Amino acid sequence: MGHNFWLSGTGLIFFSQCLLTLCQNILDHPDQDKYRRFKLNNKTIQTKIIQAKGGLEYAVEVGFREHVEDFQPYYVWQPTPDNAANLRVGTFVLKEHHEKIVAKQEAARQSKMTHKEAADLVARQVKIQFEEDRRAMAAKQRIEAERRIALESLPAERPHRPTPVSALAPGSPERDRSNLEDDFKED
Ligand SMILES: *[C@@H]1O[C@H](CO)[C@@H](O)[C@H](O)[C@H]1NC(C)=O
């Protein structure tokens, strides 16, 4: 896996599967000294940590310190409580980032779509939506216009009003019914 850069509180840091493995090994084998060190002249370490921008800084941040043994330069993890906490957090961050990268790669692989293809698809969808909106708007305007024309062609309607009770003859069935309805009205 290549080096992927991301921003952290300390600036640009890279993601390295190699560094994640080193950190995870210390957490998984807390009693084994052999997992607490890496050799600076190891070829894998050279390319995946030392030559990657931010790699050694990250190692130092989680608790590794330079240490010379038999004239060989190593980085050895120092088991202090602070370093233990930093290692846990650092490993968690690396792992999270690793999962994000894997998810992104998986999504890209599944869609098998380049950035341009994805952009073209979005553009097409926007155009289709725009055309649909335009057609829907035109149809709505046509219906409104037809309704207006139909209403205008109707003969003028006289508003219907019920005859007031007072205008009805006293004792007439209409007046009695109306009074009865008034008794049941609630205000
Ligand atoms: C170099 O480092 C890698 C990663 O830590 C390790 O797997 C490998 O065994 C090392 N090689 C030597 C020769 O020490």
Residues 12-50: tens digit of each pLDDT: 455 678 899 999 999 999 999 999 999 999 999 998 888
Query: Rounded to an integer, what is the distance from CA 89 to the centroid of its chain?
Result: 24
Distance 5 CA to ligand 1 centre (A): 23
Distance 66 CA to ligand 1 centre (A): 17
Instruction: State the CATH class of domain 4-111.
Output: mainly alpha
In order of 84, 96, 114, the CA distances from 106 in angstroms are: 33, 15, 13
State pTM to two decimals: 0.55
Question: 62, 86 in Cβ contact below 8 A?
Answer: yes
With bands split at pLDDT 50, 70 and 90, how would you rate the model's confidence at 126?
confident
Query: For 92-105, what is each residue's pLDDT tens digit?
Result: 888 888 888 778 77
In order of 39, 74, 154, 158, the CA distances from 68 in angstroms are: 10, 6, 102, 107
Distance 25 CA to ligand 1 centre (A): 13
Q: Whose CA is nearest to atom 7 of ligand 1?
A: 44
Q: Whose CA is nearest to atom 12 of ligand 1?
A: 42
Minimal CA–CA distance to 90: which of 21, 155, 169? 21
Q: How many CB atoms are closer than 10 A to CB 36?
A: 19
Residues 6+ apart with CB under 8 A from 175: 165, 168, 169
pLDDT above 70 covers what percent of the chain? 74
Q: Which residues line ligand 1 (CB under 6 A)?
A: 18, 22, 38-39, 42, 44-45
Q: Which two tokens stand for residue 28?
A: 């998984």
Interatomic CA distance for residues 34 and 76, integer angstroms: 9
* Between 14 and 69, residue with greater pLDDT: 69
Q: In testing the pocket of ligand 1, which one of 28, 44, 64 has its CB within 8 Å of the most ligand atoms?
A: 44
Residues 6+ apart with CB under 8 A from 113: 121
Q: Whose CA is nearest to atom 10 of ligand 1?
A: 42
Interatomic CA distance for residues 186 and 110, integer angstroms: 68
Interatomic CA distance for residues 26 and 44, integer angstroms: 18
